[in-house]
Structure 1
């Protein structure tokens, strides 16, 4: 009898949340009679009130601010906002420096023009400030590019990988002084306020925009892949190397970012051996600890200070001349066939950025109530070897890789179909710098087992017991796999015990298993995924095995047997594979 006991202790990186110091909700709401009454007519599916478009899907009401439809007034509301009513742009009181300008969607937009209001959506506003300096992207977002006296506007936003056109009116929440309560732009530009309102409509309310992350803002506004680098992770392999990260930022010229309150990187400079980053606070306020020439929230910071003051840096990989294919699908379990496998053909060496999203489809599925779902991406070469693997408990996962010309398989999946019976829909986006062909590939459940075996072989983390028996392990961001490899000429009885493990879910629905593994066979005997993203994980396991007498009368050891039996939904994960 051979026995091995092993403990892995994994502590997640510093959780990244945007903490907002200004939460704004109205105390009282007054609608003028022309908006309160149903005195509008339908013309070509548009609702018109006094020759102004009125959006019946996103009303100038409390529910559009708070999403609390049961509230009847703003009096004594818990956040004590001073939003009092909704006004059209021509009714709004603009700042003195802006009064000289006519109303417009754009007026030579600049990152300094955007000022965050009392809503805690700095994750969106910091991303929007970056886009304001890239007109070719900003103009694609605003389909309606001229001020429309009729008050109807169309905005293009990327909803978890899929572009969507949102139609809104220009009624905007204002304070008791008739100034904009939320995001505003200098020079009477409307693009920032309208984009914010369009996203509030898409997510169900302005409140739903609170406490997001800058990576989501960049994804929504650009539709391009984003990569997040952790600066505080306790796991060395996940903590960003500042020298490499500096090179990535300089080379990419993509501007993205970050922590407790999100700032935007506007520029980077190197003077002799010193490196500096130019940041902007979306509140438009001067930073006391750093020099700033104007009170516009823009300042320079030494690069070395980034890792002390920020938790993450997000790089948005904008490639205007790139190639993109967007697919929609629904995850299946691992019992019959895999519907989320795609054949990829690249005629040239190609840089790929593959994104997998758990989508938000309606205003009832906004960012505040995403279902519990994890995601994984595996890229296989034509010979079945693993090119790259990525797993995430977030709403998305991004895999970046450069591949030579050839055929590949992209496998998109979720362990939540096994753990929670959640058959979520997904959006898959493949970005490349060279032309490529992507087609859905019908496949058997064995593809999943083959793929994870390839992941384990690529990881090359092997513990040899002797007698031809060994264990291969792999892990990535909260997913832990364990494969028993029996290269001997005799079947073995193999037992595993994971009692003592914390914050994990087993695909076998049990922490203790007993399996008969035939000679020259490899089997994934356990796969564990993190249960709660923000909590620590502790994997503790003990395994033991013994060789079986192949001459035992009436006992067939050429077939695998599992106790407890593997569920139908997970069979494709744990199907034994022959070793040649």
Structure 2
């Protein structure tokens, strides 16, 4: 939805040296109710220049136009719509609350429930649908909201998981309001402040409120819980990848029983517009899954719209299993309708008995040592979920300008056998495996280093249901070739040409690897042609290669990785080989491989003996 507004900047032209003299429109003359002890504790560790009278003002996220829009010039936007209203900033004491809420005192929490949270005029349903879920789980909500009581000094601390690493964000309580003094963005029933404050902390983390527009449900759950998530697609354009809806239903029933959190994303692409409009659902909008039940043969899902309004479920009437008020956005819908009208379901695997370790580092290329290698010791069998995030170099960053990079995870056992592999072009990749007791190697990497010279920082998080030990162990660049050979063997996709020559391939989420094995006693000249492939980038910088493979050796010719996340990948190739006499055998890398292997990719394409 598109909105328009005019931003009214309170004291926008004030220099920093004058900030301590202004109250941003407040009368702070009556401060007798504040004890000096309370003020001192609130401001502990805070820059004293940010204290205005007895109120805290966040100098890193000022109540000005750019904190909402990221735009330093101009006041008219195309992204919000409030008629003739102007956005201003006020403290909670000055905000006009609805009549039914005026009876309550200001508080951070007042017996919070999911139905208390109402999304404002900001397209961050991906986050608010997740926030609605944790409102019902105090042990999670109270970890996020560090400041748990209303603070008259206006200083609050919020704990958010920033790409896998927990980060404490300090904010003041200046909130955007309309010219009628009503909250513009997320608000809560009973004058609770936690939804507005948590949303503001996230806006600060990413530079502005506008930066929160558009996102995926998985991101909201990751930010608030720090726990691993899994996404189940309900539709596929590829007939070979058609999802098993019965299996997904079983999965969400099991997840509900375990107390896992779930959200879903609505889509109107499967039905005609007229039929979709009759449902009362909103397309490209995230909903919280509050409950799932099977009554005889009927399978039902209880959803909540974070907007808080009542749904018009004409095609799919609300069931009377659980009564809900007329304005809380809660309704029941058949599973068959969910599988038709929603595109994906996200499950967050919260667990109170989980062991976890978080590590950070920076990716290296594959020309010398690999810095993102870890030794994993599991004293007993373990169910592991390994997450790898593309991390920002900055404390606060603009998520809308943060490009996705290529990420992969490989787990090897002590014999070098692949136990798990995952590859993706995204801001994160997740790998779930079950392993017996033993020692393992986790290799985390990025092909963006080879393809685009992007040496990104990363966060690695390992979750297990049993205790484990994880230590960093930089390794020789030869490990990466061995690891991808192990991946190819696990894939078990081999084409035999005869004469001891065969090709192994492996693929995952738009990544395609291609290995030649030469078990003969002669060198061969191997030619590959990948012209016609769509939406992929080759590690060799070319779609045509000619390589001489010595006798009894193997080589990974190239890895083709997805170029654009939103587009499909298609791999087309032709290969041929020719046996050579001994005099044709050439060992020098720059004459043996045409074109020469890029230095950054040497570890990928090392010759290895065939055993």
TM-score normalized by the length of structure 2: 0.87
Alpha-carbon contact 1:159-1:360 (below 8 Å) kept: no
1:85 counterpart residue number: 88
Alpha-carbon contact 1:203-1:362 (below 8 Å) kept: no
Q: State the Cα deviation string for residues 28-52 of structure 1 (Å, max 9, x = none).
A: 3345999995234999514122311
1:444 counterpart residue number: 476
2:261 counterpart residue number: 255
- The reply to whether residue 278 of structure 1 matches residue 259 of structure 2 is no
| Inter-CA distance 34–488: structure 2 relative to 1 (3 Å threshold) | closer
TM-score normalized by the length of structure 1: 0.92
SS at match of 1:353: strand
- Written as runs of structure 1 = structure 2, the 5 A alignment for 1:54-453 is 54-71=57-74, 74-75=75-76, 79-81=80-82, 82-235=85-238, 239-253=242-256, 254-259=260-265, 260-289=284-313, 290-292=316-318, 293=324, 294-362=326-394, 365-453=397-485
Give the Å deviation of 1:520. Answer: 1.4
Larger proportion of helix = 2
Q: Distance in 2 between matches of 1:304 and 1:544?
A: 49
- The reply to whether residue 534 of structure 1 matches residue 558 of structure 2 is no
| Inter-CA distance 51–35: structure 2 relative to 1 (3 Å threshold) | farther
| Inter-CA distance 76–296: structure 2 relative to 1 (3 Å threshold) | closer
SS at match of 2:423: strand
Alignment: residue pair count: 555
SS at match of 1:573: coil
Name the structure, 1 or 2, with higher relative contact order (CA <8 Å, separation 6+).
1
Alpha-carbon contact 2:200-2:209 (below 8 Å) kept: yes
Give the Å deviation of 1:83. Answer: 4.2
Alpha-carbon contact 1:503-1:531 (below 8 Å) kept: yes
Alpha-carbon contact 1:321-1:433 (below 8 Å) kept: yes
Farther off after superposition, 105-114 or 534-543? 534-543
| Inter-CA distance 242–35: structure 2 relative to 1 (3 Å threshold) | farther
| Inter-CA distance 156–210: structure 2 relative to 1 (3 Å threshold) | same
Q: Distance in 2 between matches of 1:443 and 1:481?
A: 22
Q: State the Cα deviation string for residues 366-410 of structure 1 (Å, max 9, x = none).
A: 211113411000111111011111011110001111111111111
| Inter-CA distance 241–221: structure 2 relative to 1 (3 Å threshold) | same
Give the Å deviation of 1:360. Answer: 3.1
RMSD: 2.1
Give the Å deviation of 1:577. Answer: 1.1
- The reply to whether residue 523 of structure 1 matches residue 555 of structure 2 is yes
Q: State the Cα deviation string for residues 479-526 of structure 1 (Å, max 9, x = none).
A: 110001111121111011111222211100111111110111111011
2:270 counterpart residue number: none
| Inter-CA distance 251–80: structure 2 relative to 1 (3 Å threshold) | closer
Q: Distance in 2 between matches of 1:125 and 1:295?
A: 17
Q: Distance in 2 between matches of 1:390 and 1:113?
A: 39
Q: Distance in 2 between matches of 1:308 and 1:520?
A: 53
Give the Å deviation of 1:75. Answer: 4.7
Alpha-carbon contact 1:256-1:313 (below 8 Å) kept: yes
SS at match of 1:287: coil
Runs of 5+ consecutive residues of structure 2 not aligned to the other structure: 23-42, 266-283, 319-323
Give the Å deviation of 1:363. Answer: 6.4
Alpha-carbon contact 1:492-1:547 (below 8 Å) kept: yes
| Inter-CA distance 237–228: structure 2 relative to 1 (3 Å threshold) | farther
Alpha-carbon contact 2:2-2:80 (below 8 Å) kept: no
Give the Å deviation of 1:256. Answer: 1.9
Alpha-carbon contact 2:10-2:63 (below 8 Å) kept: no
Alpha-carbon contact 2:555-2:606 (below 8 Å) kept: yes
Q: State the Cα deviation string for residues 304-332 of structure 1 (Å, max 9, x = none).
A: 22221111110000012211100001110
Alpha-carbon contact 2:388-2:407 (below 8 Å) kept: yes
Alpha-carbon contact 2:4-2:76 (below 8 Å) kept: no
SS at match of 2:394: coil
1:10 counterpart residue number: none
SS at match of 1:304: helix
Runs of 5+ consecutive residues of structure 1 not aligned to the other structure: 1-20
2:599 counterpart residue number: 568
SS at match of 2:263: coil
